[in-house]
Amino acid sequence: MTNEMTAESRETIIRQRLQDSLRAAQEELSQIQQRLQDKGDYGPGTGDPLVVRWELNLARRDRVESRIEDLEHALERLEEGTYGVCESCGKPIDLGRLEALPQTELCIECARNAGEGMAA
């Protein structure tokens, strides 16, 4: 399948995807924050399933917050025209990688060196 996409339309698609992901992440974050507020008064019982769930939500919130940061950063880079360039070595990032991981800032080699696990 060969689809000749111009750099511009590709940028539009990537921007759209980043904005969609950002919106989804922000929505998820506000849901998590809602749940975190419902902590209530569960008493001191450690290992209480409700407390455990609350802690899980805390961990999820941290993950979502860092995803939002990455997405916002990627959108900024898109505006600046530096999107798709590896922040570490300055080489262009492989398009397949950008499509799979639009908020990435590192080319596959630098990501591997940085131990980004999920690359491959």
Supply the minimum distance, in Å, between the C-beta of residue 106 and Zn ion: 5
Mention every residue, 6+ apart, whose C-beta is less than 8 A from residue 67. 21, 25, 103
Mention every residue, 6+ apart, whose C-beta is less than 8 A from residue 34. none
Q: How far apart are CA 27 and CA 22, in angstroms?
A: 9
Which residue, 28 or 87, is less far from Zn ion as judged by CB? 87
Q: Which positions from 82 through 111 interact with Zn ion, judged by CB under 5 A? A: 86, 88-89, 107, 110
Task: With contacts defined by CB under 5 A, name the span among 1-9, 38-46, 81-89, 112-120 that binds Zn ion.
Answer: 81-89
Closest-CA residue to 119 (of 77, 83, 86) = 86
Which residue, 64 or 110, is less far from Zn ion as judged by CB? 110
Which residue, 50 or 95, is less far from Zn ion as judged by CB? 95
Residues binding Zn ion: number (CB under 5 A): 5
Which residue, 33 or 113, is less far from Zn ion as judged by CB? 113
Residues that bind Zn ion (CB under 5 A): 86, 88-89, 107, 110
